[in-house]
Copies of this chain bind each other. A is one copy, B any other.
Amino acid sequence: MERTSAEKILEIAQELVQTRGLNAMSYADISEQLGITKAGIHYHFPSKDNLILEMVKRYHQNFRYGTAHVNTISKTGLERLEKHMAYHAGLVQIRALCLCAMLASDSESLSEDVRFEVQAFFNTSRAWLSDALEFGRRDGTLTFRGSPDLEAAQVLALYEGAMLLARAWNDVERYNEPVQRYLATVSTI
């Protein structure tokens, strides 16, 4: 099965939101990149709100798939954190922000449905990070004080903030520096 138009629209729209922000992305932009008219996009996604909601759901789902995959191929907790970090470094490199970080800053322009889905994504992220931290503590690759869940909340904030700062310079190193320094702190190796 080929990629459907709806999927292509979501893909293009997502990259536009991640690089420019919600209110700097328009149906006209998607139309131009995809080569179908604005009305054609409205056929698949009646309203912008609808489009964004589907987009966040897809992003959330892809995160679940991605992290599940990371879990199967990583042997240690440290390795999981490193893969997570590397993925986000890739986003910074294409001038993008985590979709939900971008939407959190554009939070005031969001419908309640979308805001809930953004929160759900962050909950999933935090839970996965918490698992990875606990996993690493058990296998001896990670060390930290207190509950994995609270540590995860801190790591999530660090990651999202580092991505934001890296954007100001358009320089991945501004992301890598603090994040790798954190990993060095918790790593036992």
Contacts and interface: CB of A to CB of B under 8 A. Distances in A.
Interface of A: 19-24, 95, 97, 100-109, 115, 118-119, 122, 145-146, 150, 153-154, 156-162, 164-165, 167-170, 177-179, 181-182, 185
Q: What's the number of copies of this chain in the assembled complex?
A: 2
A58 B149 CA distance: 39
A21 B156 contact: no
Nearest to A95: B108
A21 B23 contact: yes
A185 B105 contact: no
Main secondary structure of the interface of A (DSSP, over half): helix
A158 B161 CA distance: 6
A156 B145 contact: no
Nearest to A154: B178
13 contacts: A21-B106, A23-B24, A103-B168, A104-B167, A105-B167, A153-B178, A154-B158, A154-B182, A156-B178, A157-B164, A157-B179, A160-B164, A161-B164
Contacts of A170: 107
A109 B106 CA distance: 14
